[in-house]
Amino acid sequence: MELHSLTNTPGARHRRKRVGRGCGSGMGKTSTRGHKGAGARKGHKQKLTFEGGQMPLVRRLPKRGFNNAAFAAKAHAVNLSDLEKKFETGAEITIETLVKAGLSDNKRPKIKILAKGELTKKLTVKGVPVSASAKAKIEAAGGSVA
């Protein structure tokens, strides 16, 4: 194959339709827009779902189910590795101390401590949801979960 032998496959490229260039072109006078009405005017755009006046498909099909994803409160994950970095041995961890340490913000309604990372410090967790594996790691390090 050489560059000079490359051609387009038949039907791959089309000439641009030149409308409004005289009656001899076959697309003169109304320029393929028909006679009068909104479609013949400039700036007219039909609604994407418009089907010529018949009931659109989106309205013919029934609405089913329920989805609360937009309003569901998402828990903000705090890992044990984050607690290891931000807190000293013997510290008490509450939602307020997590916000002060910059591990969460007041905009998030829920916080949960997860077991990712290692913990060597003895920490006391109060009033914060903790996963089962994180609880086991905290207690193995000598801390407690209340």
List, for residues 81-103, the tens digit of each pLDDT value. 999 999 999 999 998 899 889 88
State how far the Cα of 49 lies from the Cα of 46, in Å rounded to an integer.
Answer: 8
* 13-30 as b/e: b if 16+ CB within 10 A: eeeeeeeeeeeeeebeee
Yes or no: say if 98 and 120 are a contact pair by the CB < 8 Å rule. Answer: no
Q: How far is residue 18 CA from its own chain's centroid?
A: 42
Among candidate residues 39, 50, 20, 117, the one with its CA nearest the CA of residue 78: 117
CATH topology of domain 75-145: Ribosomal Protein L15; Chain: K; domain 2 (3.100.10)
Q: What is the mean pLDDT of residues 12-21?
A: 94
∠ CA 99-105-106, nearest 5°, is 100
DSSP label of 28 = -
The verdict on pTM exceeding 0.75 is no
Query: Amino acid identity, residue 30?
Result: T
- How long is the chain? 146
**CB-side neighbour CA atoms (13 Å) of 114:** 9
User: pLDDT tens for residues 48-76?
Assistant: 999 999 999 999 999 999 998 888 888 88
